[in-house]
Amino acid sequence: MLNTDRLRTLCAVSDHGSISAAAVRLHITASGVSQQLAKLENELGVPLLEHVGRGVQLTHAGRLLVRRGRTILSLMAEAEHALASLEHDAIGELRLGSFPSACRIVLPQAISHLRSHHPALDLSYRSGTTDALLHALRRNEVDLVVAESLVTMPLHLPDDVVHQHLHDDVVEVALAAGHPHATADGVTLADLADMTWVTWRRNEVFHTWLEQTLRKAGLEPAIPFEVPDFSAQLELVSNNLAAALIPRLIRAWVPDRVAVLPVLPTLKREILALTRRDDGRPSVRVGLEAMVHAFSTLAQFEVWERVIRSPEDE
């Protein structure tokens, strides 16, 4: 009979690419990983790893066992989580992740709610791009991810990940307050044909999406500034060095010298909660509930009206 701990060790080597990296993830020594794998090979009578240079790679038998092993471990996890869900309170670890702008308003409220209502939870949080966090979710490094999916470039999810819709957001254009279009009710991208742009780094989602969106509007992208932070992007905008497309979710942090206008036609993104399909623990369930509640109360912050109002309206 297969030993599940040894099977999990083999899957960890496959996931993390080396014995040493798997040892770090499993919180054991590298020699302990090697011993587990040697015992597994002896039990099965076939080699599962082969040495390549200073590293190792899975044999055909090893890859086959990993594919089947993931299914076995997933079914076991489902059974364990089903039993755990019979408990009334959520306890244990809950590792959250989200793209940065969601952390500014929504995540603190959700985490505060969880700490107040489920004090036995061991909470942690990391910020990152949606692509990086989706990868971490599948590698069991986080449990619940708040992700963004641009409507014209939707996020593609693998079969082992499920999603729940949290919020519909709008992406708008940020211009320097002195720009000729700054007082308009809205602009088309064609109105900004002569603008240079600032966005995230090349090959990241927002950069690729901006390029595609501008080309769809018949414009050749001019993007000399690659800055992986919306606040820093807005500083460039405020000095009339570039325009930026920013989500409405961060409007509360727009500097006074920046005007934010709707784009015509409207640019949209969805905000989703992602979990592993086999993870039905109560801790994940209450985490989802906290996210749904936090996003449903966005209007209470009144950030949109506060930013839109001019000083004369105060």
Domains and CATH numbers, the chain: 4-84 (1.10.10.10), 92-159+278-301 (3.40.190.10), 168-268 (3.40.190.290)
* Residue type at position 78: E
| pLDDT score of 306 more than 60 | no
Phi-psi region of 99 (alpha: psi -120 to 50; beta: other; left: phi over 0): beta
pLDDT level of residue 249 (50, 70, 90 thresholds): confident
On whether the CB atoms of residues 111 and 144 are closer than 8 A, the answer is no
pLDDT in tens, 260-303: 999 999 999 999 999 999 898 889 999 999 999 999 887 554 44
- At what angle are helices 30-44 and 4-16 packed, to 10 degrees? 120
Q: How many helices (H) and strands (E) does the chain have?
A: 10, 11
Residue 140: partners with Cβ closer than 8 Å, 6 or more residues away: 276
pLDDT level of residue 84 (50, 70, 90 thresholds): low
* Residue type at position 201: R
Q: Alpha-carbon torsion 103, 227, 170, 252, what sign?
A: positive
Prediction pTM value: 0.70
Label the pairing between strands 92-98 and 121-127: parallel
The pLDDT mean for the chain works out to 88
pLDDT in tens, 104-161: 778 898 999 999 999 889 999 999 989 999 999 999 999 999 999 999 999 999 999 9
Place of tokens 């603190």: 108
Q: How far is 267 from 255, CA to CA, in rounded Å?
A: 22
| pLDDT score of 66 more than 80 | yes
pLDDT level of residue 218 (50, 70, 90 thresholds): very high
pLDDT in tens, 6-42: 888 998 888 888 889 889 888 899 899 889 889 988 8
On whether the CB atoms of residues 290 and 90 are closer than 8 A, the answer is no
Question: In 294-310, which positions are buried (b, 16+ CB within 10 angstroms) versus exposed (e)?
Answer: bbeebeeeebbeebeee
| pLDDT score of 313 more than 50 | no
**Residue with the larger pLDDT of the pair 207 and 105:** 207
Average pLDDT over residues 301-313: 42
Average pLDDT over residues 166-172: 94
Question: From residue 297, how far is each of 57, 120, 237, 274 by CA, in Å?
Answer: 49, 25, 30, 20
pLDDT in tens, 87-105: 556 778 999 999 988 877 7
pLDDT value, residue 300: 52
pLDDT value, residue 82: 62
| pLDDT score of 190 more than 80 | yes
On whether the CB atoms of residues 191 and 183 are closer than 8 A, the answer is no
pLDDT level of residue 202 (50, 70, 90 thresholds): very high
pLDDT level of residue 307 (50, 70, 90 thresholds): very low
DSSP string computed for 65-84: HHHHHHHHHHHHHHHHHHHH
* Residue type at position 298: L
* Residue type at position 38: A
Q: CB under 8 Å, gap of 24 or more: what pairs does 262-266 form?
A: 262/170, 262/172, 262/173, 262/185, 262/186, 262/187, 263/171, 263/172, 263/173, 263/186, 263/187, 263/188, 263/189, 264/186, 264/187, 264/188, 266/170
